[in-house]
Amino acid sequence: MLLHGNARLSPFQRQLVCERVRLENWTIDEAAEAAGCSDRTVYRWLKRYDAGEPMRDRSSAPKHRPTRTPASVEREIERLRRLRWTSTRIAAALKMAVSTVCAVLMRLGLNRLWNLGPPEPPNRYCRRHAGELVHLDIKKLGRFRRPGHRIHGRGPGRRTFRAGWEAVHVCVDDATRLAYVEVLPDEKATTTIGFVERAMQWFADRGVRVRQVMSDNGAAYKSAPFATWCAQHTIEHIRTRPYRPRTNGKAERFIQTMLREWAYSVSYPSSDHRTRALGAWIDYYNHQRPHGALGHKPPASRLHGD
């Protein structure tokens, strides 16, 4: 529920003030002084209390809007939008301002194209064997030389200027959720390829042969050197559709867990200390935590790629 920014009383306090006056025989001055408001405020809420109205703020929108787009025009805008017309095309056809069409579409909840169709059902999937599909992703974290606003809050002297960024490269197996992570200085193609090579070797040391990798449409993953590397190692590269991060949801969800339990879990003296703590956390994640889409530990047969 939204309250006015300058509201002195919450809905519960308004109800309490009215009950004190009407049921407990408090005077207006006593109720106003106890609630920290004016007598006029108490009278206003008493009037609504006696009328049986809810103790919440009324809308400040006018009841009559002479300049509002007519309902017939709104229906025509909705009809054209259902045909998947853009707002610019609708405005040109109806000889209206694009801003007006956008405002109507937002009011109708049709400002996004995916709102035109029924909600897409969840599409859950999980490969049967380790190595069939490996998810790749990169998370950028800011470097720091002393704890900043996440620990001490925002204020003067709590920012590390020009410290730069570091890229956390993530590799997660689809079947077992085994993960390999490195903190590297950038996300260039050569750096990414080096990380993927070490990740593939890490999986190979555990008897897992990687057949497919999935990533988003980052510059490193779309580069020609990365495509060449995948072809040389006979690994199929699958890229997600633009603006569909949930396709690579296992990597996205792992990054959330990693940030919550490692990056932002304690106050590190510097980003270097945070990087050194990553090894212990990822070892705990891979060996102590249960893996699997439903939180259960997979059978031993799923730990082998062949």
Q: What's the rounded Cα separation, in Å, for the pair 174 and 256?
A: 16
Domain ranges of the chain: 11-50, 71-115, 134-303
Q: Are strands 212-215 and 179-184 parallel, antiparallel or unpaired?
A: unpaired
- Across-strand partners of 135? 172, 214
pLDDT in the model for residue 5: 72
- What letter does residue 133 receive in the DSSP assignment? -
pTM: 0.63
Region of poorest pLDDT, from 60-74, 83-97, 271-285:
60-74
pLDDT of residue 299 exceeding 60, the answer is no
For domain 134-303, give the fold. Answer: Nucleotidyltransferase; domain 5 (3.30.420)
Region of poorest pLDDT, from 2-16, 35-49, 64-78:
2-16
Q: What's the rounded Cα separation, in Å, for the pair 231 and 219?
A: 18
Q: What is the pLDDT of residues 156-187, one digit of tens each?
A: 666 667 678 999 999 999 999 999 999 999 99
Largest CA distance in the chain: 86
